[in-house]
Amino acid sequence: MVPTKKSAVLVDGVILNGPTTDAKAGEKFVEEAWRLIMEEVVLKATDVNEKVCEWQPPEQLKQLLDLEMRDTGEPHHRLLELCRDVIRYSVKTNHPRFFNQLYAGLDYYSLVARFMTEALNPSVYTYEVSPVFLLVEEAVLKKMIEFIGWKEGDGIFNPGGSVSNMYAMNLARYKYYPDIKEKGLSGLPRLILFTSAECHYSMKKAASFLGIGTENICFVETDGRGKMIPEELEKQICQARKQGAAPFLVCATSGTTVLGAFDPLDGIADVCERHGLWLHVDASWGGSALMSRKHRRLLQGIHRADSVAWNPHKMLMAGIQCCALLVKDKSLRSLLQHLASFYAVFSLRSVPEYAN
Ligand SMILES: Cc1ncc(COP(=O)(O)O)c(C=O)c1O
């Protein structure tokens, strides 16, 4: 097909800056697919009289969907049929009868924000590429920091609360052992971290990924409601020190995955202060309670944490994934940057036409 976009730059007959297919037909396809999404997802999938899912076992579903990757293209009407099938056999997470800890129905505004980011296809790695989204990120992180109750702080959005927890573990380790970046694990004592028996499994994953080892996680006892017992925490820290290990991190959970328990942050922060340990709060699930006048007391003491993981996609109805790791000490901005300092250094000054 002949591309119809005007002023396409051709180099040796290859288009550098435009669609390689027929643009008019492409635009029509977007319009038709858009209508389908509106009818089948926004209107129908949120209707209580419709099914949550047209469930099929995997082998049957494979037969019903055309998933063959062919060498030739497909006509638009086939692609639209495929789109329809994708919607038809998918779980309608926006349905009023779909219950799961991640979802609470459709938020129209968050949906449109997602349409926009998908259409603009930004990558938030430099201001030049993403001026608006960079400022949006800064503003949202600032607001989250205010809700935590810190005077200042910094943060980063991650592809999951699990990643936020892993970054927090890495930051805590880097704070106490900054040589790790150059020297690796060989120069370290036996590091040990503390969390409750009800913590999210990502703590184990992170300890394993970072070379700390799952055996060096001490799972502190919880009370009958699944909350970490600060006195037990302190006992375990003293015992670990006696055994020659080096405690470096305590991870409290605000909203445990199974029981929804909120660890007593003030009591845990007291222990961390006495022992000079980094306090990370995994508020991936429960962090949004900070925005409720009635329930924010569940996170009483969160302002004393060194870092917080908070997923607005869980209770604030942002689209999946929307996960922030927030770090209290702004001087630790350099910590965040030092730790991940293999980032692209493209400044405005390096682009002469922007400099004036
Ligand atoms: C307490 C807690 N922490 C961390 C996570 C992990 O979050 P994600 O699924 O975004 O990686 C979850 C997920 O359910 C969670 O409940």
Q: How far is CA 105 from CA 35, 51, 284, 313, 317, in A?
A: 21, 14, 19, 12, 8
- pLDDT at residue number 211: 96
- pLDDT at residue number 7: 67
Cα distance between residue 326 and residue 303, in whole Å = 11
**How far is ligand 1, taken at its centre, from the CA of residue 322, in Å?**
11
Q: Which of 36-45, 50-59, 324-333 has the lowest mean pLDDT?
A: 324-333
Cα distance between residue 196 and residue 265, in whole Å = 12
Going by C-alpha positions, the residue among 309, 241, 231 that lies closest to residue 270 is 231
**How far is ligand 1, taken at its centre, from the CA of residue 314, in Å?**
9
Q: Which of 204, 254, 280, 311 is the pocket-test mutation for ligand 1 (most atoms within 8 Å of CB)?
A: 311
Q: Which of 58-72, 193-207, 259-273, 336-350 has the lowest mean pLDDT?
A: 336-350
Name the range with the highest mean pLDDT among 72-81, 103-112, 119-128, 208-217: 208-217
Going by C-alpha positions, the residue among 280, 308, 309 that lies closest to residue 194 is 280
Buried b (16+ CB within 10 A) or exposed e, 86-122: ebbeeebbbbeebeeeebeebeeebbeeeeeeeeeee
**How far is ligand 1, taken at its centre, from the CA of residue 99, in Å?**
17
- Which is the closest atom of ligand 1 to the Cα of 102? 14
Cα distance between residue 43 and residue 245, in whole Å = 58
Of all protein residues, the one whose alpha carbon is nearest to atom 14 of ligand 1 is 257
* Ligand 1-lining residues (CB < 6 angstroms): 160-162, 200, 202, 253, 255-257, 282, 284-285, 311, 321, 323
Cα distance between residue 272 and residue 233, in whole Å = 9
**How far is ligand 1, taken at its centre, from the CA of residue 285, in Å?**
6
Q: Which of 196, 253, 259, 285 is the pocket-test mutation for ligand 1 (most atoms within 8 Å of CB)?
A: 285
Of all protein residues, the one whose alpha carbon is nearest to atom 7 of ligand 1 is 161
Tokens of 80: 């639209």
Q: Which of 251, 257, 310, 322 is the pocket-test mutation for ligand 1 (most atoms within 8 Å of CB)?
A: 257
**How far is ligand 1, taken at its centre, from the CA of residue 163, in Å?**
9
Q: Which of 48-62, 66-80, 92-106 has the lowest mean pLDDT?
A: 92-106
What is the distance of C-alpha 86 from the center of its chain?
25
pTM for the structure as a whole: 0.89
**How far is ligand 1, taken at its centre, from the CA of residue 302, in Å?**
18
User: Cβ distance 248 to 193 under 8 Å?
Assistant: yes
- pLDDT at residue number 239: 98
pLDDT at 303 over 50: yes
Q: Report the share of the chain in percent with pLDDT over 90.
A: 76
CA 322, 323, 324 angle in degrees (round to 5)? 130
**How far is ligand 1, taken at its centre, from the CA of residue 249, in Å?**
19
pLDDT at 292 over 90: yes
Going by C-alpha positions, the residue among 174, 172, 195, 169 that lies closest to residue 185 is 174
- Which is the closest atom of ligand 1 to the Cα of 257? 16
**How far is ligand 1, taken at its centre, from the CA of residue 200, in Å?**
6
Q: Which of 169, 196, 202 is the pocket-test mutation for ligand 1 (most atoms within 8 Å of CB)?
A: 202
Q: How far is CA 71 from CA 15, 51, 89, 120, in A?
A: 22, 35, 25, 29
Q: Which of 200-209, 229-238, 291-300, 327-336 has the lowest mean pLDDT?
A: 327-336
pLDDT at 341 over 90: no
- pLDDT at residue number 278: 98
Of all protein residues, the one whose alpha carbon is nearest to atom 16 of ligand 1 is 257
- Which is the closest atom of ligand 1 to the Cα of 283? 1
* Average pLDDT score over the chain: 90
Cα distance between residue 267 and residue 231, in whole Å = 9
Of all protein residues, the one whose alpha carbon is nearest to atom 5 of ligand 1 is 161
**How far is ligand 1, taken at its centre, from the CA of residue 312, in Å?**
11
